[in-house]
Structure 1
């Protein structure tokens, strides 16, 4: 197991933009619920959509393009930040994103041990479990066990690389393209790429119709 530390001193939890926006969002949410303008269920529904559907669509499109276009994939892995910026994926929480590739022998997984740095422009809102102290600490110490709890069982020969995101650099996983998808279009491929596979806690599954 390889752990890639990238934190240094860049985290300032008293002045971290994500912490400030999170506090403001919670205050607004409480006020809206208190005034009866929206319900907590409605807010949860919107958050769920952005966590699992709307947000990750951007990252899924990048992954699908990399699967279909070898030249694009090569550039993406060599200079992720430049390529993603060309596509319009940058800005707040999207600075300095690095793409790391899964292979037959390597499984990459992303975390942020000190807070919850995450590539928002590509994956949308981070899932609740990503921000939990249990995931942030355990994925570094016992990644194979944690991945198994997510339903991802890896052979002992598979190397697990844990990438620790920070305010200086954020990571996204390029999952392996599953066999049986050779005839799928780029748009169809994007539909099967999941948020969890781009964090590294799951593999992309072949649609039943293609099995």
Structure 2
């Protein structure tokens, strides 16, 4: 399980971008869940009401600017697995076999206040997952998001089409127009992504709860 420690993504005289693990008991949990739902409603007329226990949130100073859900594969079946034609362990990713489930994490419900914050969310995801020894990332993404990630040099392998028909009816109702954007299931290795050269992310000494109440 990740700790409550945060990560500094960028810091200068005027701005600090930080990422924090937001657990179910965190005092800002409701704010982050509402943020994700609001952004999905804005983009797809969809609202995600069930999020993983772990959420990674990015703040610019005190403003929430990006967030995503993180599910660890050794804790439960991953959402993206329902789209796959075979067991996850039978796949290979970029020429390498899929590792044991304790080394896999799924990213979902990616939401940002604007596209300029997406690179910082990606940095936060990669750094945070490396920090908890997760080597393979699995996620379902629209074609536009996948192209954005690939343009940034992130190596991905497409594993399956994300077909709406494979969802149960309850889950189907929450997604609005999302499936009109041609989503697919992708996977990539955390080690293959080169973090920004400007300032490598650093772990904060204080926990989120400590800084939030300072």
TM-score (normalised: structure 2): 0.28
Larger Rg: 1
Q: Would you tell me which structure has more strand in proportion to its own residues?
A: 2
Normalising to structure 1: TM-score of the pair?
A: 0.29
Higher relative contact order (CA 8 A, sep 6+): 1
